[in-house]
Amino acid sequence: MLKILFLGDVIGEPGRRAVVDSIAEFKEKRGVDFVVVNGENAANGRGITPRIAIDLLRAGAAVITSGDHIWDQRDIVPYIDTEPRLLRPINYPDGTPGNGSIVLETAKGKIAVINVQGRTFMQPPLENPFVAMDQEVARLREETPVIFVDCHAETTSEKIAMARFLDGRISALIGTHTHTQTADEQVFPGGTAFLCDAGMCGPVESCLGREIDPIIRRFLTSRPAQFPVAGGPVKLHGAIIEIDEQTGRAHRIERVAQLYHPAGDGREDERSR
């Protein structure tokens, strides 16, 4: 059985530190074989830089997915064509730098990862994600039955519809973007594992990873404001999916909601499932 760990949107330096420090432990203690991380908010909460991508890959992430903030850091544009393990949404127009999918050879066979972005309430609107996924999944299934999808979208309906549309053709679809973990993990009849939103890897005492007071002021005044990444305790959110590597069917999905304890603090890990 293949175990894939997916970690939701990494928020700034606190989220990066927690993810980098924790991947090896997930592999050792939870038997994780393959790690996918959404890194689109890893650079101070907006985008990702080449150095951050390198740090996440060196820590053990096999693939980094992204979303609508992928282009927020200028130096990512020349870098993304040189690192195929950093994905941008697949439904960008032809000619966009980077790739929206990848297939990697592992000890348990080939694993495909696709990054797709929804259109409802998302800016800028991209090409139709359902058409793009229909075509890409058909192409990748010629190479491997194990296909993991990060669906970066705002609405629950679009993410659920995408997963139902692909049920039986992909191994798992996990949603990202809202930074708030949902509790609807399940395996659909066709063998596709689903979680509407993985949540974030970021500060607990925050508003979606940002300092609370500036966001409240923005709602009160409607005036522009800076939203710094919050501090304090950090929680890792995501999911672990168990997949039959021969058929690509998911057998089990478990939510991850784990407080990050820096090395040497002497406390036990806390998990909610």
Q: Rounded CA gap, 104 and 211, in Å?
A: 38
In the Cβ-directed half-sphere of 166, how many Cα atoms lie within 13 Å?
36
Note the pLDDT of residue 263: 74
Question: What six digits make up the tokens of 105?
Answer: 């050879």
Residue numbers of the domain that contains 66: 2-260
pLDDT string in tens for the chain (273-residue length):
999 999 999 999 999 999 999 999 999 999 999 999 999 999 988 999 999 999 999 999 999 999 999 999 999 999 999 999 999 999 999 999 999 999 999 999 999 999 999 999 999 899 999 999 999 999 999 999 999 999 999 999 999 999 999 999 999 999 999 999 999 999 999 999 999 999 999 999 999 999 999 999 999 999 988 899 999 999 999 999 999 999 999 999 999 999 998 875 555 444 433
CA neighbor of 56 nearest in space, from 46, 42, 44: 42
Residue 145 is classified by DSSP as S
How big is the CA angle at 164 (ends 121 and 243), to the nearest 5 degrees?
115
Identity at 169, one-letter amino acid code = R
The token pair at 175 is 């949603």
Does 269 map to a domain? no
Among residues 116, 133, 144, the alpha carbon closest in space to that of 38 is found at 116
Residue 145 lies in a domain: yes
Q: Flag whether 244 is in a domain.
A: yes
Residue 132 is assigned to a structural domain of this protein: yes
- CATH number, domain at 114? 3.60.21.10
Query: Is 242 within the bounds of a domain?
Result: yes
Cα 165 to chain centroid distance, Å, stands at 20
Instruction: Return the SS3 of 254.
Output: strand
- Note whether residue 266 is domain-resident: no
Query: Listing from the earlier edge strand, what are the strands of the sheet with 186-187?
Result: 101-106, 109-117, 147-152, 172-176, 193-195, 186-187
> 69 an active-site residue?
yes
37 C-beta neighbours (distance < 10 Å), count = 29
Coil, helix or strand for 31?
A: coil
Tell me whether residue 6 is in a domain. yes
What's residue 220's pLDDT? 95
How far apart CA 133 and CA 165 sit, in angstroms, is 9
C-alpha radius of gyration, the chain, whole number:
17
> What is the SS3 string spanning 175-216?
EECCCCCCCCCEECCCCCEEECCCCEEEECCCECCECHHHHH
Q: How many domains does the chain have?
A: 1
User: Is 268 within the bounds of a domain?
Assistant: no
Structure tokens given for 37: 């991380």
Catalytic residue from among 69, 152, 179, 237: 69
> What DSSP character marks residue 266?
-
